[in-house]
Amino acid sequence: MFKDKKLQFLEFKVNNNYYALKLEEVKEIVLDVERQSIVNSFDFVDGIIKYREDIYTALDTELILKGKSIYEKEIYLLTYNKKNINIALRLNKITLIREVSEEQIEKPDLIEEVSDELFIQGIINLKEDHLIQIIDINKLIDYIENLKNIIIKENGGEENVKKYENK
C-alpha cells in the first residue's frame, strides 16, 4: 500500500568505521580550503576556515570519534544545525551518498537507553555488508558542550561561549 520512506545519507569512513550524516544536514562539501589553527583550543578543534564570506569552526572528526588524526586529503563538510552555527567537519574520505529505507535503521539496546548522551542516532544495517553509524549533528554539538561544559549560543546571540571550564 505505502512505500517505505527512503532517507539519504552522506557516508564517510573514519578509522575503518563507517559513519553518515543526513544529507539535509550537509550544506556543501569543500576541498583544500586554507585552514588557520586556533591557539589554546581543544584537540578536536581543527581550526577555522573561511569559505565564501563565512567563517567556520573546523572540527577534527577523527579525534571526536576517538581515532588517530591522519589525513591524506582535507575534505570539509559544512553543516546545517539547529543552533545555526557554522561548523565544518574535517574528513579523510567520503565513500558515497546512500539511500536507505527506514527499516534498515536500527537502534541497538544500549544506544536506545543512553541516546541522550550519545551523538549516534542509529545504525544503518547493510545486512550483507558493513554497519554505518548515523551521526546527529545537533547531538554532536550538545556532546561537545557537555564535554568541557561549554554552552554555544545561536548565531546572532550576544556571545558564542557563555561558560567555559577546562577540566
Judge whether 71 lies within some domain.
Answer: yes
- Beta strands per DSSP E along the chain: 6-14, 17-22, 26-31, 35-36, 45-51, 54-60, 75-79, 87-91, 93-101, 105-106, 120-125, 131-135
Residue 153: DSSP 8-state:
P
Q: What is the pTM of this model?
A: 0.76
When divided into structural domains, the chain yields a total of 1
Judge whether 152 lies within some domain.
Answer: no
Judge whether 35 lies within some domain.
Answer: yes
9-19 pLDDT per residue, tens: 999 988 788 99
Q: What is the mean pLDDT of residues 90-94?
A: 85
Instruction: Give the Cβ contact number of residue 40 at 10 Å.
Output: 6
Judge whether 156 lies within some domain.
Answer: no
| Percent of the chain whose predicted confidence (pLDDT) is above 70 | 77
Judge whether 166 lies within some domain.
Answer: no
pLDDT band for 162, please (50, 70, 90 cuts). very low
- Exposure string of 93-118, with b = 16+ CB inside 10 Å and e = fewer, is eeeeebebeeebbeeeeeeeeeeeeb
Judge whether 70 lies within some domain.
Answer: yes
Judge whether 161 lies within some domain.
Answer: no
C-alpha cell at 127: 545486512
pLDDT of residue 41: 84
Tell me the C-alpha distance between 12 and 90, whole Å. Answer: 11
Task: Compute, in degrees rounded to 10, the torsion defined by CA atoms 19, 42, 32, 156.
Answer: 90
pLDDT of residue 9: 95
Residue 83 amino acid letter: K
Mean of the per-residue pLDDT values of the chain? 80
CATH of residue 125's domain is 2.40.50.180
116-142 pLDDT per residue, tens: 557 888 889 887 788 999 998 988 888
Structural domain harbouring 60:
6-147
Which H, E and C letters describe 74-111, residue by residue? CEEEEECCCCCCCEEEEECEEEEEEEEEHHHEECCHHH
Residue 160 scores a pLDDT above 50: no
Judge whether 17 lies within some domain.
Answer: yes
